[in-house]
Structure 1
Amino acid sequence: MEKKRGFERVSTFTDIRLPARATAAAAGYDFEAAADCLVPSIWKSGAAKALQAVLKGEQIFLEDELLKQLKPTLVPTGVKAYMGEDEFLQLCNRSSNPLKQFLLLANGVGIIDSDYYNNADNEGHIMFQFLNFGLTDTLIRKGERIGQGIFLPFLKADQDDASAVRSGGFGSSGK
């Protein structure tokens, strides 16, 4: 039987569970953290200082150390996904994360393209980008459910002539 879509472990992670649906009617496959990961509070990592500077009318430059501190935390899953060329995996936050743990996906939703699988940079390792808007740091423990993935088809425009080939891993198609 030909493989259509699914999940595999990244070679450096052997003791993790592959994503699975919680119920027969669930659309999303639950992803777990592959390692303990601390997601710092944006308020402790500089957001309050940045907000104060903005309110005072001070200019903030992208090179500032303050802005570097506000980057999202990448949480590894140890998982890679394979799928058809006309499909993608949409990464979504768990509905309970903002309410219970103050965690937001920094990119809103993640898009895993079919050519991300087994790329040379990181083997197609899927990670979730989190921002913590709570007042205290949040510790995500290994094995804790952190998000979900939904396989979806996509359509191409009539004038689509894309022919570039992926040359890297995370964020490489936007370079």
Structure 2
Amino acid sequence: MKLKIVNISENKLPKYETTGSSGLDLLTNNDEDIVLKSLERTLVPTGLFVEIPKGFEGQVRARSGLSIKHGITLINGIGTIDSDYRGELKIPVVNLSTEDFTIKKGLRIAQLVIIKHERVELEEVKTLSDTSRGHGGFGSTGVN
């Protein structure tokens, strides 16, 4: 599959870092350093615009290294880019650490994964089929 992309930044196009990577690394395109204080959040520009084919979505995911080493993650967990969105990809980040974090231009800030999805047709019913789990909620299947 080909993904159409417009790049108005000075960065190279996103790429997979290894042959087994599922996400393309997204780089920042900020004119000046962004100092993100503890618990502060911001939108970081990438200078990228994509045309995701119908039937697919883009998922923006945090980079594990930034998350565990610096507490930098995505505000919304995983961000969804719909196939009809044509605006700039901006990354909603939050600093969960107690230290300031500086976002420099060209930093690998997040990953873009392209996923096939299905649309469903809703069927309203009075009951659902029974399962062994039933109504068991969070933690109902045990810890181990």
Q: How many residues align?
A: 121
Aligned-residue Cα RMSD (Å) equals: 1.8
Identical positions, percent: 30
- Counterpart of 1:113? 82
Q: Is residue 2:19 matched to residue 1:15?
A: no
Structure 1 unaligned segments of length 5 or more: list them. Answer: 43-69, 118-123, 161-175
SS, match of residue 68 in structure 2: helix
1:39 positional shift: 1.5
The structure that is strand-richer by fraction is 2
Q: Distance in 2 between matches of 1:21 and 1:73?
A: 25
Q: Is residue 2:63 matched to residue 1:41?
A: no
Q: Is the 8 A contact 1:7 1:19 kept in 2?
A: no
Normalized against structure 1, the TM-score is what? 0.64
- Counterpart of 2:128? none
Normalized against structure 2, the TM-score is what? 0.77
Q: Equivalent of 2:61, from 72, 81, 92? A: 92
- How far does the alpha carbon of each residue in 1:11-49 deviate from its partner, in whole angstroms, 9 at most, with x for none? xx341222111112211000011123222212xxxxxxx
SS, match of residue 98 in structure 1: helix
Structure 2 unaligned segments of length 5 or more: list them. Answer: 124-144
Q: Distance in 2 between matches of 1:37 and 1:77?
A: 13
